[in-house]
Structure 1
Amino acid sequence: MSQTVFAPWSDPDQKPLIQFKGVTKRFGDFTAIDDLTQDIYEKEFFALLGPSGCGKTTMMRMLAGFEAPTKGQILIAGQDMARVPPNKRAVNMMFQSYALFPHLSVWDNIAFGLKREGKDKDTISARVDEMLRLTRLSKFAKRKPHQISGGQRQRVALARSLAKAPKLLLLDEPLGALDKKLRQDTQFELMDIQEKTGTTFVIVTHDQEEAMTVASRVAVMDEGQIIQVATPDQIYEAPNSVYVADFIGDVNIITGRATPQGDKIAIAWAEGQPDILGSTPKTITPGQEVHFAIRPEKVGISVDEPQEAGNKLQGKVLDIAYLGNISTYHVELPTGHVIKAQTANTRRISRRHITWEDMVWLSWTDTAGVVLDR
């Protein structure tokens, strides 16, 4: 049975749930969001990723209704949100601090919004129990927030946000307060809950690993603009700029001048060094400055000169970072450039044969890297 791929953004018949149309947001002289147009679809887990101050939280606050755009329109389910106050939007926001009521039990925290809406007792009870099951908190229902762990408090905040069945849930750095191991477990829980409820999630994070784990699509932001929106694998394998390549994961970037050679491109990058061969669907003019980006795991490292390699360079091992499952070698070329190569540690430690100061060969195929023109 072939599984259908979830990709409403590539189906022209799908209507977006959220539309940013030419949205600009200024605070005095500072432009936080700069003429931004972006669609987000129903049931998406959409991540806004970028460094502090890139505008991702401003985007989210405008969606929630806490900020109004200076220019442009925000539509949710086809309705212009300009005059719709936060409490009238089918949107809920989960804050980093969780903002739980310390004097109320877990059960009452989750029920709070439903009680305010004046729902009847049975409806509230059924919904809260459903949310407790969904977030695996049933046995903690009577406890107060201070009597449960940080990860459990995070799930209470999530259950409370989802209790009112919003169309859209906004998560602002939701896992920021958790330690690494718990964050990773919670990321999978979030994905599971998002899938079960079918709610559209928009998450703001500066943690690239988190965005790449949870999201159906990632929007990489910089200075109030979205630089690239794509699925996590596309962002990683086919970044559209040096900024995106560098922001996501580890990467080597070599800058040089390009000469087209048939369907390949030769990049002259240093005196006395062989050209780097790459391939790109883009039209590159002779002599144009380009940046060649290649991930360390795509660079082979060996003591002996490889015979069949599209690209090979010789250098000296400067540093080795041993990370348990992988080792990263920092290799200095005669030009002073340092290239990282990564290998999986499938063998026991005694079998590793490349060490500091060794002369080694780096090699990769002509399709292993990406040629970028910006």
Structure 2
Amino acid sequence: MRPGQFIGRGVFFVHHCPVGEKAKPMPQNVFAPWTDPQAKPLIRFENVTKRFGDFTAVDDLSVDIYEREFFALLGPSGCGKTTMMRMLAGFETPTSGTIMLDGKDISPVPPNKRSVNMMFQSYALFPHLTVYDNIAFGLKRDKLPAEQIDARVKEMLRLVQIERFAQRKPDQISGGQRQRVALARSLAKAPKLLLLDEPLSALDKKLRQDTQFELMDIQEKTGTTFVIVTHDQEEAMTVASRVAVMNFGKLIQVDTPTQIYEAPNSAYVADFIGDVNIIEGNATVDGERVLISWAEGQPDIIGTPAQPVAPGRVSFVIRPEKIAISSEKPTDRRNAVHGKVLDIAYLGNMSTYHVEMPDGTVIKATAANQRRRDSLPYTWEDPVWLSWTDTAGVVLAE
């Protein structure tokens, strides 16, 4: 069972280490081979660099990916994630460094000889072939017996739940169904590794969300290692056992979705994943706490860093949902600031309030809309208090 996975229906399991607390050992049934020093990775990048002329797309990158893992490469356009995938597939060769698959250097191995399949963003289905024949194509190329091909294709059709469309052409089915055909074709030859290049980008939001969970189920059933490239943070956080956040050809942080979100190792990661407030200031150390002076006339922010922080310039990172909003000053929290509502984003199940401080700093706070009402509890220009606990945010050295 991996962190961030749904167990059954409506039960969500996460392994969460609150900021400021020591990590506790994971239960034995949790899928986390990266925590086991004896575990051997399926894929190993060792000091891999890829240059195109004077441009460095991947810069001295090292990372291990394990068997049965659903690994996400996440980052903005041009960060190097697609180049990493193309090197795994064999479409690009590293300028330097080594890529190992199951303990063997795959750099000299041509794409068609690797135990790797790739599902393209465009799906790349053959328009003149039926769904059945699209899935069977690679198996026929391998000259497998006809009865073995038929059994494998029918197994894949059942796996992705498109048996009734077997005799249709790609232009006779929906985009979501074409995506399933492409996935079934990619899995038909039972590769050790499946690469998915922005596989859900062509789907509408609702279908994309539904398909994310179907992908997770299929990956669990087949046991195939999936590596997905995406720029969609929500998608990566939903499907992946671990997420690698990239920028300028480097890995900034590789961790579980929970740790990426709750304990980012840099302001870049915090800002890239989800909504966040980043407040810069000067820190002084007071035992296990840090006092952050951030604006004239404002009380110091009290933080509890997960790692030791030296006095000096720091960033205080806190998610909007960690901040409480109230009309009266809270008496049970030491972190409390006063401002006025500048803007409101009503999202149905929740509202995000943009609150302006006297010095002009804007802090976002999210409140759940738990009851049906004609109007929100706070409106524009209302004076409000924002408050949070000492461990709600992350203190990061600059």
Q: Aligned runs of 1:66-215 on 2, under 5 Å?
A: 66-215=91-240
Q: In 2, distance between residues paired with 1:162 and 1:294?
A: 41
CA contact (8 A) 2:135 2:188 kept: yes
Q: In 1, distance between residues paired with 2:377 and 2:191?
A: 57
Q: Paired residue for 2:40?
A: 15
Q: In 2, distance between residues paired with 1:175 and 1:337?
A: 37
Q: Paired residue for 1:301?
A: 325
Q: What is the one-letter code of the residue matched to 2:160? A: T
Q: What is the one-letter code of the residue matched to 1:142? A: Q
Query: Out of 279, 288, 292, which is 2:316 matched to?
Result: 292
What secondary structure is seen at the aligned counterpart in 2 of 1:366?
coil
What secondary structure is seen at the aligned counterpart in 2 of 1:349?
coil
What secondary structure is seen at the aligned counterpart in 1 of 2:374?
helix
What secondary structure is seen at the aligned counterpart in 1 of 2:138?
helix
CA contact (8 A) 2:309 2:396 kept: no
Q: Does 1:371 align with 2:395?
A: yes
Query: Out of 283, 302, 306, which is 1:258 matched to?
Result: 283
Q: How far apart are 1:285 and its partner, in Å?
A: 2.1
- Provide the TM-score with structure 2 as the length reference: 0.93
Q: Paired residue for 1:362?
A: 386
What secondary structure is seen at the aligned counterpart in 1 of 2:220?
helix
Q: What is the one-letter code of the residue matched to 2:140? A: K
Q: In 1, distance between residues paired with 2:392 and 2:251?
A: 26
Q: What is the one-letter code of the residue matched to 1:9? A: W
Between Structure 1 and Structure 2, how many residues are aligned?
A: 372
Q: Paired residue for 2:29?
A: 4
Q: In 2, distance between residues paired with 1:137 and 1:311?
A: 54
Q: How far apart are 1:349 and its partner, in Å?
A: 1.9
Q: How far apart are 1:8 and its partner, in Å?
A: 0.4
What secondary structure is seen at the aligned counterpart in 1 of 2:182?
helix
What secondary structure is seen at the aligned counterpart in 2 of 1:195?
helix
Gapped regions of structure 2 (runs ≥ 5): 1-26
Gapped regions of structure 1 (runs ≥ 5): none
Query: Out of 340, 348, 351, which is 2:372 matched to?
Result: 348
Q: In 2, distance between residues paired with 1:98 and 1:234?
A: 32
Q: Paired residue for 2:17?
A: none
Q: What is the one-letter code of the residue matched to 2:39? A: Q
Q: In 1, distance between residues paired with 2:168 and 2:334?
A: 63
Q: In 2, distance between residues paired with 1:36 and 1:366?
A: 36
What secondary structure is seen at the aligned counterpart in 2 of 1:350?
coil
Q: In 1, distance between residues paired with 2:50 and 2:356?
A: 45
Q: In 1, distance between residues paired with 2:377 and 2:138?
A: 62
Q: What is the one-letter code of the residue matched to 2:164? A: K
- Provide the TM-score with structure 1 as the length reference: 0.98
Q: Does 1:47 align with 2:72?
A: yes
What CA deviation, in whole Å up to 9, does each residue of 1:304-348 have, x standing for no partner? 111111200000100111000000000000010000000010011
Q: Does 1:318 align with 2:342?
A: yes
Q: How far apart are 1:12 and its partner, in Å?
A: 1.0
CA contact (8 A) 2:198 2:228 kept: yes
Q: How far apart are 1:283 and its partner, in Å?
A: 2.2
Q: What is the one-letter code of the residue matched to 1:368? A: A
Q: How far apart are 1:247 and its partner, in Å?
A: 0.4
Q: Aligned runs of 1:222-261 on 2, under 5 Å?
A: 222-261=247-286
Query: Between the two proteins, what is the percent identity of the paired residues?
Result: 74
CA contact (8 A) 2:75 2:246 kept: yes
Q: In 1, distance between residues paired with 2:202 and 2:244?
A: 23
What secondary structure is seen at the aligned counterpart in 2 of 1:22?
strand
What secondary structure is seen at the aligned counterpart in 1 of 2:86?
helix
CA contact (8 A) 2:306 2:394 kept: no
Query: Out of 49, 53, 64, which is 1:24 matched to?
Result: 49
Q: CA RMSD in A?
A: 0.9
Q: In 2, distance between residues paired with 1:372 and 1:30?
A: 30
Q: How far apart are 1:3 and its partner, in Å?
A: 6.8
